[in-house]
């Protein structure tokens, strides 16, 4: 069977391609921008990649077209697919029907932390000898690939995104996954391009809740009132909660930066975690993953040492270099809450050292200005901020930099941003690049500029 994947170089669709290839299918695909690292990973699997979207890429006709959610009507490949009446399906539906059916699925949902928590849960199950399958929206350090099948008898861990499925299926991706165990990590307003308000996202989360069976488990953040409201819409599955100082699974911080904490389950201390991640948000991710692994039958006490060997996902506060005592990080930031919690964790670690932030408003919600009011408060722990204000940004970034009261400035290009940071940086500084896009490779370019 020959599959053609439209939008193959996205992290999710690239994972779908890898799983299809592992199943023994002939896989090819198109994307508007075929470039590393995903292109390298896919080509190494023997997957043919085509640059751009044209009808010629779908001639001769493949047996099935798998459509990514970046595809829209008017796209030449999409129009040819419809006109020629080719068989097509969305990526999440193909995954649900072809890979997840019959498996014990553990789904990780939430506005923040999905990729890290999915990677961590996969690592914990691997350390327990379960050899899980997984699909992660990034490259987990412990595995080096974004997806694998695992054994049919093993659990499958899936990053459960609330973004819509395809141009012809506006439900959230995660309704296709049918998990037995689902983590609801947190819930805030996001994706302003497709959701009009928070209530619309809560409805989608409740659609996920409706698919979890009565003999399954919901692992829910005890701090999140928005998730509590979702459960009041109806819940037919046992719930376990987690939190710092609250919930069925609790953490008591040993180190204020979150690098060490004691885990309690139903009031009983089961052991201590020491690891390389920082921040209260990372502690909550850890509790969620531990609770889900326990629900899947693993012994949580035995799992605790595995936290120490966890290697985080690339671009999640990934240190990309240190030059002249300036530490440089690359972080996948897309929401004020994620920015605030990440910087708070770094501040707890570095104390009074200066933190410089380079910020690109790259997500759809950021570009639309949906989070503009929350950006300045989220940068409270930054000593200086350079905001990339491209000419096409439809709102005035000065409303953010002015609120920073002298700590912020804008730059019209990445080159100008790098130069502005280079002029400010001094030994002992920590410089964090925050974007959910490629940022024109700015973090590594900045490292070179420091030499």
Domain ranges in the chain are 2-91, 102-309, 318-450
Tell me the per-residue pLDDT of 292-324, one tens digit each, with 9 for 90 and over: 999 999 999 999 999 999 997 767 778 889 998
pLDDT tens sequence across 64-80: 999 999 999 999 999 99
Q: Which residue has the tokens 């890429």?
A: 57
Same fold, 2-91 and 318-450: no
Which residues are known binding-site members for ATP? 110-116
Q: Count CB-CB contacts under 10 A for residue 133.
A: 24
Query: Could you report the per-residue pLDDT of 224-277, keeping only the tens digit for each?
Result: 999 999 999 999 999 999 999 999 999 999 998 899 999 999 999 999 999 988
Q: Which residues belong to the annotated binding site?
A: 110-116
Q: What CATH code would you report for 102-309?
A: 3.40.1190.10
**pTM for this structure?**
0.82
Residue 34 near residue 51 (C-beta atoms within 8 A): yes
Class of domain 318-450: alpha beta
Question: How far is the C-alpha of 430 from the C-alpha of 432, rounded, in Å?
Answer: 7
Instruction: Please give the CATH superfamily to which domain 2-91 belongs.
Output: NAD(P)-binding Rossmann-like Domain (3.40.50.720)
- Position 440 scores a pLDDT of 85
pLDDT tens for the chain, residues 1 to 451: 999 999 998 889 999 999 999 999 999 999 997 766 677 888 889 999 999 999 999 999 999 999 999 999 999 999 999 999 999 999 999 999 999 999 999 999 998 889 999 999 999 999 999 999 999 987 888 998 889 999 889 999 999 999 999 999 999 999 999 999 999 999 988 777 778 899 999 999 999 999 999 999 999 999 999 999 999 999 999 999 999 999 999 999 999 889 999 999 999 999 999 998 888 989 999 999 999 999 999 999 999 999 999 997 767 778 889 998 999 999 887 678 888 888 988 898 888 999 999 988 876 556 555 566 778 788 989 999 998 888 777 677 777 778 788 788 888 999 999 999 999 999 999 999 988 777 888 999 999 999 8
Cα 78 to Cα 65: distance, rounded to the nearest angstrom: 10
């Amino acid at each position: 069977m020959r599959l053609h994947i439209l939008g193959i170089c996205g992290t999710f669709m690239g994972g779908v391609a890898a799983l299809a290839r592992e199943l023994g299918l002939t896989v090819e695909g198109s994307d508007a921008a075929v470039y590393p690292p995903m292109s390298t990973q896919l080509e190494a699997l023997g997957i043919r990649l085509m640059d751009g979207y044209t009808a010629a890429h779908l001639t001769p006709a493949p047996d099935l077209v798998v459509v990514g959610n970046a595809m829209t009507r008017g796209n030449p490949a999409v129009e040819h697919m419809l006109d020629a009446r080719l068989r097509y399906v969305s990526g999440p539906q193909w995954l649900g029907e072809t890979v997840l059916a019959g498996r014990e699925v553990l789904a990780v949902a939430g506005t923040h932390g999905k990729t890290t928590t999915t990677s961590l849960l996969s690592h914990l199950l691997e350390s327990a000898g379960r050899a899980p399958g997984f699909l992660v929206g990034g490259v987990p350090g412990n595995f080096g690939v974004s997806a694998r099948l695992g054994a049919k008898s093993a659990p499958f861990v899936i990053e459960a995104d609330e973004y819509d499925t395809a141009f012809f299926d506006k439900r959230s991706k995660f309704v296709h996954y049918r998990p037995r165990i689902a983590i609801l990590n947190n819930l805030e307003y996001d994706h302003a391009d497709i959701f009009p308000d928070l209530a619309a996202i809560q409805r989608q989360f409740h659609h996920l809740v409706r698919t979890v069976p009565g003999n399954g488990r919901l692992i829910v953040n005890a701090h999140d009132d928005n998730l509590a409201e979702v459960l009041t819409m109806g819940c037919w599955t046992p719930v376990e909660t987690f939190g710092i100082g609250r919930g069925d699974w609790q953490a008591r911080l040993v180190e204020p930066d979150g690098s060490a904490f004691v885990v309690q389950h139903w009031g009983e201390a089961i052991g201590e975690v020491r690891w390389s991640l920082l921040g209260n948000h990372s502690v909550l991710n850890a509790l969620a993953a531990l609770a889900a692994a326990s629900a899947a039958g693993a012994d949580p006490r035995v799992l605790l040492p595995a936290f120490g060997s966890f290697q985080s996902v690339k671009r999640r506060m990934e240190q990309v270099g240190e030059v002249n005592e300036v530490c440089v990080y690359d972080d996948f930031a897309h929401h004020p809450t994620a920015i605030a919690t990440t910087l708070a964790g770094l501040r707890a670690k570095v104390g009074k050292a200066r933190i410089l932030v380079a910020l690109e408003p790259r997500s759809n919600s950021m570009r639309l200005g949906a989070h503009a009011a929350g950006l300045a408060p989220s940068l409270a722990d930054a000593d200086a901020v350079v905001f990339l204000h491209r000419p096409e940004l439809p709102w005035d970034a000065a409303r953010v930099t002015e609120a920073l009261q002298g700590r912020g400035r804008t730059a019209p290009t990445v080159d100008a941003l790098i130069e502005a940071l280079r002029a400010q940086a001094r030994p002992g500084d920590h410089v964090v690049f925050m974007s959910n896009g490629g940022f024109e490779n700015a973090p590594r370019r900045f490292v070179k500029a420091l030499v």
